[in-house]
Structure 1
Amino acid sequence: MTFQITVQPSGHQFDCEAGETVLGAALRAGIGLPYGCKNGACGSCKGKIVAGSVEHKAHQQRALSEDEAGAGFSLFCCATTTADLVIEAREVAGSSDYPIRKMPARVAKLDKVAPDVIVMSLQLPANEALAYRAGQYIEFMLKDGKRRSYSMANAPSTLDAPLQVHIRYMAGGTFTEHVFNTMKERDILRFEGPLGTFFLREDSVKPIVLLASGTGFAPVKALVEHLLHLKSKRPVTLYWGGRRPLDLYMNELCEQWAAIVPNFRYVPVVSHALPEDHWSGRTGFVHAAVMHDLPDLSGYQVYACGAPVVVDSARRDYVQKCKLPADEFFADAFTTEADLAQP
């Protein structure tokens, strides 16, 4: 059976098949609902059911609490329906401008930039290009049918060079064990993309805070390169956090940006430096450093990427304590298989 879903306030409508998720049907129809992980872990696709009802597949309570579900909210990436629906969601303009494609790519280079981080460069087929927005991600399609998501780390304007992704080693991880231990240059991978609604809102002139933890720097790097390509004059402050200085694996690049780019400021933050690190910079949690420097975020946009705990803490504290408008917080929480396995 086919059911009709109406989105408020836009009035856009699309069909949803029995057993299909609301988000899946929206993407198929080219409707720009916000989303991130597509696995019920990040909460980016959260919206409200105005009329009708849904059933949810397995998801994390952190992404949709019982109180939120009781108030009519839903995770559209996990929600299925057996009747027509009216939903309330903020659509993302431009998210469906580029077609989602399945493509092969050859591993051009594996560059180990930190003990647990590899920059993988991918060469696309001759005369092929992937159209995407800086900040979006691709999903590698593994042989067992599983998928792994990684953000593009370079802006679309740099695609005369290979496509890059930043991969952090996860002990026991099916894909990362392969990347770090057995993958070789010239191996062939298949991926699908572009995906996600994390990208620069170019219709704003507000100053920007970029918040990254660990390899959450990858899409942030793409955003900075895109801003440079646009010759944007918007003030930008990048806060990049890691446990130890080695986690800031492209620190010199960020320092170069700060030295040559007008209106660009870089604040590295380390939370668990050891004496042998000789770290003399900012310490503590990276999202708290933003609050210390910018207690009033009412006139800003924030783009946050990295571990779910960092993204969730930033979203909560910036809105509740720093007056950031909730609709000016854009995020991409990097969920792992371990995150998805939590209740």
Structure 2
Amino acid sequence: MSFKVTVLPSQHEFTVEDGQSVLDAALAAGIVLPYSCRNGACSTCKGRVVEGSYEGGPNTAQIVSEEEREQGYTLFCQAKPLSDLTIEAHEVRMASDIQIRKMPSRIVEMEKLADDVMVLKVQLPASDPFRFYPGQYLDFILRDGKRRSYSMATPPNEANLVELHIRHTPGGAFTDHVFGVGATQMKLREIQRVEAPLGSFFLRKSDKPAVFLASGTGFAPIKAMIEHMIAVGDKRPVHLYWGGRRPVDLYMDGLAREWENQLPGFRYFPVVSEALPEDNWQGRSGFVHRAVMEDIPDLSGHQVYACGAPVMVDSARQDFTTHCNLPEEEFYADAFTTAAHSV
């Protein structure tokens, strides 16, 4: 049985087929709701059901508080209608030429920048321009049908070449393959099937100062956004806060420092939370989002783009909107969940 879903405030409508989630049905209908992991591990797709009944899914209770669930909030990537629904959600307006498609890709470069970070460069088919927004991600589609998601670390380019930052998760089938642990080793010119572009985390057009907040390989989509700003001459003020446990986790620290000479109004703040004595770390320490709060206690006139571990993203969202006056609609995020981004 299928059900109709009406989106407020746009009044757009779409149909959810039996077994589909609200999010999957919306995307199939060309209606882009905010989303990231698509597996119920982050809160990006959270929205409110105004009218109708639905099954919330197994992960919703872990992400959405009991109080919010009583108000009708749920995760649209998990929710499956039991009747026609009216939902309340922000829609993401995307250009009509941004098309999600499956395609072959070829591994053309591999560079290990840290013990647990590999930079891959992947060639997509050159015959058809690959259009995407800086900040979006792609999925590797594995032979067993499982997927692994990685943010694209470069802005769109004529060569259809994308860069990915892969962090090794020991025991992870895909990352073990990338790092040559176990039976197989990823090789240059290897073919991998991908689907892209995905996600609603991308740079919005605005004159507001931008705060970029990254932990670990959450730096990848931020890199794409900043390089796009450099390419188009975007002159709005930019603050980049990049956090890691140890200095080695800031695996492109030199590049981030170079941006201060390439982008007017750009400032970079590396933050380390667990430096060891042998690191000789002289910079800022602690939680990376707290460094933002110390420097910019009033975020009411800013946009924030946060990417990395869910605990960092969720803490930043909560603290920035509660204590720093950041409008909730100006907080854009992509949480790197283990199930989606790491194995």
TM-score by length of 2: 0.95
Residue 145 of structure 1 aligns with which residue? 145
- SS of the aligned residue for 2:320 comes to helix
Residue 111 of structure 1 aligns with which residue? 111
Pairing partner for 1:189 from 175, 187, 192: 192
Deviation per residue, 1:80-117 (Å, 9 max, x gap): 11221100001111176511100100110111011110
Residue 7 of structure 1 aligns with which residue? 7
Residue 208 of structure 2 aligns with which residue? 206
Do the aligned partners of residues 179 and 159 (structure 1) sit closer, same or farther apart at CA in structure 2, a change above 3 Å counting?
farther
**Percentage of matched positions with identical amino acids:** 58
- SS of the aligned residue for 2:108 comes to strand
Residue 245 of structure 1 aligns with which residue? 247
Do the aligned partners of residues 213 and 336 (structure 1) sit closer, same or farther apart at CA in structure 2, a change above 3 Å counting?
same
- SS of the aligned residue for 2:63 comes to coil
Do the aligned partners of residues 169 and 96 (structure 1) sit closer, same or farther apart at CA in structure 2, a change above 3 Å counting?
farther
Whether the 8 Å contact between 1:31 and 1:96 is mirrored in structure 2 is no
Whether the 8 Å contact between 1:136 and 1:199 is mirrored in structure 2 is yes
Question: Which amino acid is 2:118 matched to?
Answer: I
Distance 2:284 2:79 in 1: 42
Question: Which amino acid is 1:194 matched to?
Answer: P
Whether the 8 Å contact between 1:270 and 1:282 is mirrored in structure 2 is yes
Distance 2:160 2:30 in 1: 29
Whether the 8 Å contact between 1:95 and 1:197 is mirrored in structure 2 is no
Distance 1:124 1:310 in 2: 32
Paired residues for 1:220-239 under 5 Å: 220-239=222-241
Whether the 8 Å contact between 2:6 and 2:13 is mirrored in structure 1 is yes
Deviation per residue, 1:223-282 (Å, 9 max, x gap): 001111221111000000001111000000000001232100000011111111111111
Pairing partner for 2:297 from 295, 298, 302: 295
- SS of the aligned residue for 2:102 comes to strand
Distance 2:57 2:143 in 1: 24
Question: Which amino acid is 1:238 matched to?
Answer: L
Whether the 8 Å contact between 1:18 and 1:82 is mirrored in structure 2 is no
- SS of the aligned residue for 2:86 comes to strand
Residue 264 of structure 1 aligns with which residue? 266
Pairing partner for 2:322 from 296, 320, 323: 320
Deviation per residue, 1:32-82 (Å, 9 max, x gap): 211110001111111111110110222154422222212111111001112
Residue 42 of structure 2 aligns with which residue? 42
Distance 1:330 1:125 in 2: 30
Question: Which amino acid is 2:274 matched to?
Answer: H
Shift of residue 129, structure 1, vs aligned partner = 3.3
Deviation per residue, 1:185-238 (Å, 9 max, x gap): 111100111110001111x21100000000000000000011112211110000
Whether the 8 Å contact between 2:209 and 2:301 is mirrored in structure 1 is yes
Q: Number of matched residues?
A: 339
Residue 168 of structure 2 aligns with which residue? 169
Distance 1:131 1:155 in 2: 9
Question: Which amino acid is 1:265 matched to?
Answer: R
Q: Which moved more, 1:298-307 or 1:86-95?
A: 86-95
Do the aligned partners of residues 146 and 69 (structure 1) sit closer, same or farther apart at CA in structure 2, a change above 3 Å counting?
same
Distance 2:299 2:69 in 1: 29
Distance 1:159 1:177 in 2: 31
- SS of the aligned residue for 1:24 comes to helix
Unaligned runs of 5+ in 1: none
Distance 1:187 1:323 in 2: 48
TM-score by length of 1: 0.95
Whether the 8 Å contact between 2:164 and 2:220 is mirrored in structure 1 is yes
Distance 2:271 2:120 in 1: 25
- SS of the aligned residue for 1:50 comes to strand
Show structure 1 runs of 4+ deviating over 3 A. none
Whether the 8 Å contact between 1:207 and 1:235 is mirrored in structure 2 is yes
Do the aligned partners of residues 146 and 313 (structure 1) sit closer, same or farther apart at CA in structure 2, a change above 3 Å counting?
same
